[in-house]
Amino acid sequence: MPIEVGQDSSKTRKTLSAGGASFAYYSIPAAEAAGLGTFSKLPASLKVVLENMLRFEDGGRTVSVDDIKAFSEWADKGGQNPREIAYRPARVLMQDFTGVPAVVDLAAMRDGIKALGGDAQKINPLNPVDLVIDHSVMIDEFGNPRAFQMNVDREYERNMERYEFLKWGQTAFENFRVVPPGTGICHQVNLEYLAQTVWTDKDQNGDEVAYPDTLVGTDSHTTMVNGAAVLGWGVGGIEAEAAMLGQPISMLIPEVVGFKLTGEMMEGTTGTDLVLKVVEMLREHGVVGKFVEFYGDGLDNLPLAQRATIANMAPEYGATCGFFPIDAETLRYLEQTGRDKDRIALVEAYAKENGFWRGADYDPVYSSTLALDMTTIVPAISGPKRPQDYIALDSAGSAFGQYVKGIREGKDASTDTEARWEAEGGAPEPRDIPGDEGHHAKGWYKSEDGAYQLHDGSIVIASITSCTNTSNPYVMIGAGLVARKARELGLNRKPWVKTSLAPGSQVVSEYLEAAGLQEDLDAIGFNLVGYGCTTCIGNSGPLDAPISKAINDYDLIATSVLSGNRNFEGRISPDVRANYLASPPLVVAYALVGDMNVNIATDPIGTDKDGNDVYLKDIWPSNAEIAELVEKTVTRDAFQEKYADVFKGDEKWQAVEVTGGETYDWPPTSTYIQNPPYFQGMSKDPGVISDLKDARVLAILGDMVTTDHISPAGSFKDTTPAGKYLVERQVPVREFNSYGSRRGNHEVMMRGTFANIRIKNEMLDGVEGGYTKGPDGEQTSIYDAAMAYQEAGVPLVIFGGEQYGAGSSRDWAAKGTNLLGVKAVIAENFERIHRSNLVGMGVIPFEFTGGDTRKTLGLKGDETVSITGLEGDLKPGAIVPCTITYGDGSTKTIDLKCRIDTGVEKEYVEHGGVLHYVLRNLAKAG
């Protein structure tokens, strides 16, 4: 489909020749020449956004000349000018957990447009959408040659309903492609294949236009592709759906923090060591909501794969993106990974012509700066529960001991289990272990090959996983060489360590095989378990039952070491309390040690065949060894071969049956995919915004209620509303899966909204979890109360405190709120994206004014709420009256600020949401 460029931007439109072809493009130097401002000192990352304004300038409905001039003012003001703008990314990237509900909405829109008498074929993404299935494979089998095939087989058993639906979407929608299971992780597939750095497409006039490759993704680590100078970040599903349907994303012109890299990485250090230091520094600096751009002559020594590792972890340091400008290394990487040579020529010509090239004189204005000399980087890990908790490797053992001591101080874990041990015949006598004996619990378990003792610090998971590091051949080859040297000396993983290798793409397997290193990895238990996120997202699979029992019976602080990007408590495995991020070579080394108490940098990590101590330095490869193998085995041919049929899939995918044609044949008994009610019974014309009359209070929530509190996530019990729904449909508890896997079923998700076990409704005294008072005043679940009010035709409101909706941009936080019948959320202030998502679902956000809060008003939850001034000519940001009638019959009228912020947002609410707005417009267009 042609892109719709602005009709008022012809003065900045120029022509460029590259790779034997001619392209139109929107010139930043031409904008300067036209008197729109001075832009030469802007960071490249911000120039990408500026180009977007030039290309879509339409006289003011969405992009105005003043929006363009604001970028010049940003530079004049030292990197500050938070003007709201409408940004349109070129494409959308999805993974299967977050992508399924978006495709469900598209399918439902096709039903909806047919009901309005329109053409179902009108419902197609206007911007290219790629969905990569990578979140579903779990590590049930490991450490043997059968692991990969058995995990794939189980993946299909668990997820066939979802896969049938996604395969239907692949055939039914234009501009929508699905990368099948077993291909790789979405961000690595994006970096290695989908991304082009400079995108091209025909506009509505039939002209070929070149412009920066940009995207939004329904996964926070979409930022990984920033390493290849592609501007992208993660958004919620509603924003992604709006983007794919051609709607702009509302954002503020961000601050851009410049991070200067100098020097060169020293012998024995890895890109992972570098990124963990970067995360620590940027967290301390404070970059939430900001762009980070890396610059400095150190980039000349930083391969793109290392850059992608740093860009990947932008969510961990809190930034919107971690951008690297186009330079010679960008071109080298595009060549190596098999990109078309004409495209590479275009990238170079466009970057140099339009001011995006990082040359020796690159020195833009930044909002703030910080710097790092890479010669100071040392081997490191981060943990035990936050990515920014940086630990130099030579302090890792002692740091873990202090962590355990802090937990055990004054309370040895064994005291909790002594009575039970006595009843069971007593605990076995533990033998000595390294570390502080006064603060370590110890427990025995038996396996097929003997009895072993676990204790605080036993490493039970060592996983080479995640796009963060498996995209980097330098650390993957390094891991293979550590395995080879360990194998030669006779070392092996400890028997209690669950080892796994889950590369981010098939190319990784190709070069590990070509280097002969996969055989070495297999020999110490790092067999291929699948191509997907696995351990990094908590799909580590169950531990062996005796190990799990020992950990829980003895209340042990078990540990994991993974090459991922997140290590939050409880994320990796329910049995593991302490999680550490490390480079792939260190993951292998820690599997050999099996114990976090060991100071791996200085202590022996094992003994060789002759009984001699082996140290980390004895198995660590040199930078030259790694570089030689990378040069030999990571080839352009390998990338081209593995991505030649990337959308075809294996025999299993090809055997997945597709039901339905242009509309989906919704299976009535499915507990994974259901037709949502958003568009059912929808009228052809939008409604009007009505005053809210006599609404009841569903919940009163405190400060910093995040989207994690609101949106369903993780596992759930059979006693919850969602669990009861599945049990009623004969789904056994062991097959519940997770909220994430059931995001395509609104019946499950709405039952899990506001059901977080840690949420606190101030209507109840000291009660945690998703509870409230129903119409009868008795305590009940949020879901049951909401349904009772809906049946009675009573609208609902929610009260909140400061920063309502902070955290990740989770679409179900807004979708669930809507489906529960909540018409308004009244809070002290809102996190920006959640406010936008509420509006996108037709729920009106309001903010207190004049110092009023839920506390000063003495709210208890038995009030009724009426808000007037919404009907007629409601202005964006209007102040409107709200009358609160208390339980004793007294009333108080306060002023609220309506956070419908723009005229377009008002239209969204009038239509019932952004998707309704798009649907009606498409239906009217014939």
Per the CB < 8 A criterion, the answer to whether 796 and 822 are in contact is: yes
Give me 708's structure tokens: 């994690």
Distance, in Å, from the CA atom of 738 to the CA atom of 100, rounded to the nearest integer, reads 14
776: CB partners within 8 A, 6+ apart: none
Burial of 285 (0-12, 13-18, 19+ CB in 10 A): middle
Per-residue pLDDT, 756: 86
Confidence band (pLDDT; 50, 70, 90) for 865? Answer: very high
Its sign, for the CA torsion 415, 420, 425, 427, is: negative
Tell me which residue of 220, 233, 198, 228 sits closest to 324, measured CA to CA: 228
**Complete edge-to-edge strand list for the sheet that includes strand 208-212:** 13-18, 21-26, 208-212, 198-202
Q: Which CATH architecture has domain 393-634?
A: 2-Layer Sandwich (3.30)
For 550-590, the DSSP string reads HHHHTT---EEEESSS---TTTS-TT--EEEE--HHHHHHH
Output DSSP code: residue 208: E
Burial of 424 (0-12, 13-18, 19+ CB in 10 A): exposed
Summarize pLDDT for 403-432 with one digit per residue, the tens: 998 888 744 433 333 333 333 344 434 433
Output DSSP code: residue 297: G
**Beta pairing class for 796-799 and 822-827:** parallel
pTM of the model: 0.86
CA 73 to chain centre: 32
57: CB partners within 8 A, 6+ apart: 6, 8, 9, 63, 64, 65, 67, 68
Confidence band (pLDDT; 50, 70, 90) for 2? Answer: low
Give me 32's structure tokens: 């300067």
Distance, in Å, from the CA atom of 463 to the CA atom of 478, rounded to the nearest integer, reads 15
Mean pLDDT of 739-767: 91
Mean pLDDT of 446-458: 82
**Beta pairing class for 442-447 and 450-455:** antiparallel
Mean pLDDT of 785-812: 91
Which stretches within 412-526 are classed as H helix? 418-423, 467-470, 473-489, 506-514, 517-523
Tell me which residue of 68, 126, 131, 102 sits closest to 247, measured CA to CA: 126
Superfamily of domain 692-924: Aconitase, domain 4 (3.20.19.10)
Confidence band (pLDDT; 50, 70, 90) for 220? Answer: confident
Distance, in Å, from the CA atom of 491 to the CA atom of 614, rounded to the nearest integer, reads 9
Per-residue pLDDT, 828: 96
Give me 501's structure tokens: 């290798």
Looking at per-residue confidence, does 898 or 833 come out higher?
898
Helix 96-115 to helix 914-924 angle, to the nearest 10 degrees? 40
Per-residue pLDDT, 96: 86
Distance, in Å, from the CA atom of 36 to the CA atom of 18, rounded to the nearest integer, reads 27
Domain with CATH 3.20.19.10 in the chain: 692-924
The rounded mean pLDDT for the chain is 90
Strand partners, 257: 292, 368
326: CB partners within 8 A, 6+ apart: 44, 197, 229, 347, 348, 351, 356, 357, 358
H or E segment at 787? helix 782-791
Give me 94's structure tokens: 């999805």
Summarize pLDDT for 73-103 with one digit per residue, the tens: 999 999 999 898 999 999 999 988 888 888 9
Per-residue pLDDT, 364: 97
Per the CB < 8 A criterion, the answer to whether 306 and 472 are in contact is: yes
Q: Where are the beta strands (DSSP E) in 744-858?
A: 771-773, 779-781, 796-799, 822-827, 844-848
Strand partners, 461: 498, 560
Confidence band (pLDDT; 50, 70, 90) for 476? Answer: very high
Confidence band (pLDDT; 50, 70, 90) for 7? Answer: low
Per-residue pLDDT, 148: 84
Confidence band (pLDDT; 50, 70, 90) for 863? Answer: very high
Mean pLDDT of 753-773: 92
Domain with CATH 3.30.499.10 in the chain: 393-634
Distance, in Å, from the CA atom of 713 to the CA atom of 716, rounded to the nearest integer, reads 9
Mean pLDDT of 13-34: 96
Summarize pLDDT for 869-922 with one digit per residue, the tens: 999 889 999 999 999 999 999 999 999 999 998 888 899 999 999 999 999 988
Percent of the chain with pLDDT over 90: 69
Distance, in Å, from the CA atom of 482 to the CA atom of 489, rounded to the nearest integer, reads 11
Distance, in Å, from the CA atom of 179 to the CA atom of 796, rounded to the nearest integer, reads 41
27: CB partners within 8 A, 6+ apart: 12, 13, 14, 54, 353, 354
Strand partners, 864: 696, 885
Per-residue pLDDT, 385: 83
848: CB partners within 8 A, 6+ apart: 826, 827, 828, 894, 896, 897
Percent of the chain with pLDDT over 70: 94
Distance, in Å, from the CA atom of 807 to the CA atom of 707, rounded to the nearest integer, reads 6
Per-residue pLDDT, 520: 96
Per-residue pLDDT, 9: 65
Looking at per-residue confidence, does 421 or 337 come out higher?
337
Strand partners, 538: none
Whether the pLDDT of residue 538 is over 80: the answer is no
Tell me which residue of 909, 748, 741, 754 sits closest to 837, measured CA to CA: 909
Per-residue pLDDT, 437: 43
Per the CB < 8 A criterion, the answer to whether 830 and 806 are in contact is: no
Whether the pLDDT of residue 109 is over 90: the answer is yes
Mean pLDDT of 555-572: 85
Distance, in Å, from the CA atom of 495 to the CA atom of 234, rounded to the nearest integer, reads 39
Whether the pLDDT of residue 575 is over 50: the answer is yes
Per-residue pLDDT, 1: 58
3-state helix, strand, coil in the chain (%, to 5): 40, 20, 45
Q: How many residues does the chain have?
A: 926
State the SS3 of 652-705: HHHHCCCCCCCCCCCCCCCCCCCCCCCCCCCCCCCCCCCCEEEEEEEEECCCCC
Mean pLDDT of 277-305: 95
Output DSSP code: residue 54: H
Kindly report the CA angle at 777 between 771 and 780, in degrees rounded to 5?
25
Summarize pLDDT for 624-666 with one digit per residue, the tens: 999 999 999 999 999 999 999 999 988 999 999 887 789 999 9
Summarize pLDDT for 503-513 with one digit per residue, the tens: 988 899 999 99
Distance, in Å, from the CA atom of 721 to the CA atom of 786, rounded to the nearest integer, reads 12
Distance, in Å, from the CA atom of 861 to the CA atom of 701, rounded to the nearest integer, reads 11
Amino acid occupying residue 612: N
Per the CB < 8 A criterion, the answer to whether 787 and 774 are in contact is: no
Q: Which long-range contacts (CB under 8 A, 24 or more apart) does 402-407 make?
A: 403/578, 404/435, 404/436, 404/439, 404/440, 404/456, 404/457, 404/557, 405/436, 405/439, 407/439, 407/557
